[in-house]
Amino acid sequence: MPSAERDGTVRVVRALIDRGLTIAVAESLTGGMLTAELTSVPGASAVVLGGAVVYATELKHSLLGVDAALLAAEGPVHPKVARQLAAGVRERLAVDGRPADLGVATTGVAGPDPQGGQPVGTVYLGIATAAGARSIALSLSGNREEIRRRTVAEAVGALASELGITIV
């Protein structure tokens, strides 16, 4: 990850530590890359509860509680799916009965081929807190690896925004 993006990750993790907030991550197209990025920061173990890689559509439902009817009707690449993934991981990765303060999720099409009628580069991020969940739509370009890496960078940026911090 480029230096400026790496600095953003450090700032996000430090903000979580300073505020005593925890985070849980649900990943589809990024396959664990976002969790790895967050946990690469020294001290992250104080705030990163864990991550769930739910690459298979069925796992989105069985592990994280995404509505099966929604998945059947819309497929896994949809803003509501992103919101439900973020809310589900926040709740299901609870420690001692306490949900994570933040849940973040990635779902999308990295390519090389379209999926479920969605073009390559269609990505949704989900962010969930006790106050509710929101999704962020992204339209990314590049090859498979570039889309996956850009999704991680965009997720870190979304977390910074949620925390009210500025990253370069």
DSSP-derived secondary structure letter, 141? -
Query: Whole-angstrom Cα distance, residue 38 to residue 57?
Result: 24
Kindly tell me if the per-residue pLDDT of 5 is higher than 80.
no
Q: 44-81 burial, b for 16+ CB within 10 Å, e for fewer?
A: beebbbebbbbeebebbbebbebeeebbeebbbbbbbb
pLDDT of residue 61: 98
E strand residue ranges, 48-101:
48-53
Q: What is the Cα–Cα distance from 103 to 129, expressed in whole angstroms?
A: 7
Inter-residue contact 89 to 24 (CB < 8 Å): yes
φ and ψ at residue 24, rounded to 5 degrees:
-130, 145
Query: 69-126 pLDDT, tens per residue?
Result: 999 999 999 999 999 999 999 999 999 999 999 999 999 999 999 998 899 999 999 9
pLDDT score recorded for residue 132: 98
The pLDDT assigned to 6 comes to 76
Model confidence at 36: pLDDT above 80: yes
| Alpha carbons 105 and 118: distance in angstroms, whole number | 18
CA 20 to each of CA 45, 64, 72: distance values in angstroms, whole numbers, following the listed order? 12, 24, 38
Mean pLDDT of the chain, nearest integer: 96
